[in-house]
């Protein structure tokens, strides 16, 4: 079975695949055009996909009829048309859990960085622009006892909420498709409507899986409802927020600040005016960028492929319904 991996992953995953007797194919150059990428995929049985450069849509599946499974080196699978995969009985593996802690750490970091204008003040040091003491200049805000609103209280959202509860004794409110009663009991979290979440959060952190219906969900009308002291955090997908509307909300004092590990579009242009704001912190999508998380992702992605190669169910499958279809 031939496995195409479009970018290098930690050695632990590569070693697992080789020890399982699978043939691994890497591109000569990782900066592939769509046509080059497609050619590699057409000559493979299984794909271990790193990043979201290209879409796994109907065009792809029609062009690559030999693909039997796809293992994603990510939790998110918004770049995969799950319905098309299901029609072809192709399981899509992903890597939940192993990066939950690391990604929530970044959300927690962004929240504090924005609250204390850390990026802005760090730039002052770099520019040798400390200035004289000014008791009113670029003041931050404290987070103790504030309300954290979580949009998508799953694994990562829970980790973020737990940190905020323990560190700052923050009140936790959340909005999900379904209530998370275990978390309500454990953290004293309160389920609220989306409108209540928006209106009552001092910090609003996005952790849901991105779907087309979520595109530009956080837009002008939503930002206008938020508290003027509110901090918006997005470590999920850039598509959740409309970036021009976010910029306007920040510059018109409709919200207090924003911390982004994902942007819309991504990567963000270096001359984007949002980067010049003192109440913003932007990171280049580093949510899972720890040795522990990236190694865990490699193990899980490789494990998904190895299980598939043995005729077993993937350890973590984004479309488990494909197995029900296969057995019926």
Catalytic residues: 237, 266, 285
The answer to whether the beta carbons of residues 57 and 77 sit under 8 Å apart is no
What span, in angstroms and rounded, lies between the C-alpha atoms of 188 and 39? Answer: 52
What span, in angstroms and rounded, lies between the C-alpha atoms of 243 and 91? Answer: 34
Quickly tell me which residue has 């046509």 as its tokens: 35
Element (H, E) at 168: helix 155-168
DSSP-derived 3-state class of residue 16: helix
What span, in angstroms and rounded, lies between the C-alpha atoms of 291 and 286? Answer: 12
The answer to whether the beta carbons of residues 144 and 121 sit under 8 Å apart is no
The answer to whether the beta carbons of residues 239 and 264 sit under 8 Å apart is yes
Quickly tell me which residue has 């909005």 as its tokens: 175
For the record, the structure tokens of 82 come out as: 């799950």
Element (H, E) at 133: none
- The CA distances from residue 188 to 22, 172, 182, 317, in Å, are 47, 7, 9, 31
Closest CA to 206 of 152, 147, 263, 282: 152
């Amino acid at each position: 079975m031939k496995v195409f991996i479009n970018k290098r992953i930690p050695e632990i995953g590569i070693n697992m695949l080789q020890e399982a007797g699978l043939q691994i194919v890497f591109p000569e150059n990782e900066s592939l055009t769509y046509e080059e990428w497609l050619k590699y995929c057409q000559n493979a049985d299984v794909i271990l996909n790193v990043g979201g450069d290209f879409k796994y849509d109907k065009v792809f599946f029609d062009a690559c009829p030999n693909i039997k499974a796809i293992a994603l080196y990510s939790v998110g699978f918004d770049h995969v048309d799950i319905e098309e995969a299901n029609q072809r009985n192709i399981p899509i593996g992903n890597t939940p859990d192993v990066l939950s802690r690391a990604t929530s750490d970044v959300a927690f970091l962004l929240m504090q960085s924005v609250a204390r204008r850390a990026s802005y003040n760090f730039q002052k040091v770099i520019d040798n622009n400390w200035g004289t003491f000014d008791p009113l200049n670029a003041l931050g805000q404290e987070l103790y006892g504030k309300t954290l609103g979580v949009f998508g209280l799953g694994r990562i959202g829970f980790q973020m909420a737990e940190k905020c509860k323990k560190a700052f004794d923050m009140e936790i409110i959340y909005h999900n498709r379904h209530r998370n009663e275990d978390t309500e009991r454990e953290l004293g979290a309160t389920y609220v409507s989306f409108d209540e979440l928006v209106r009552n959060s001092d910090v609003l952190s996005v952790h849901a899986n991105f779907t087309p219906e979520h595109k530009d969900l956080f837009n002008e009308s939503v930002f206008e409802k938020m508290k003027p002291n509110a901090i918006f955090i997005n470590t999920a997908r850039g598509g959740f927020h409309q970036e021009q509307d976010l910029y306007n909300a920040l510059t018109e004092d409709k919200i207090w600040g924003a911390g982004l590990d994902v942007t819309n579009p991504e990567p963000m242009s270096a001359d984007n005016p949002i980067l010049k704001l003192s109440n913003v912190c932007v990171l280049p999508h580093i949510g899972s960028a720890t040795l522990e998380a990236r190694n865990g992702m490699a193990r899980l992605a490789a494990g998904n492929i190895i299980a598939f190669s043995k005729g077993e169910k993937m350890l973590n499958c984004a479309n488990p319904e494909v197995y029900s279809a296969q057995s019926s």
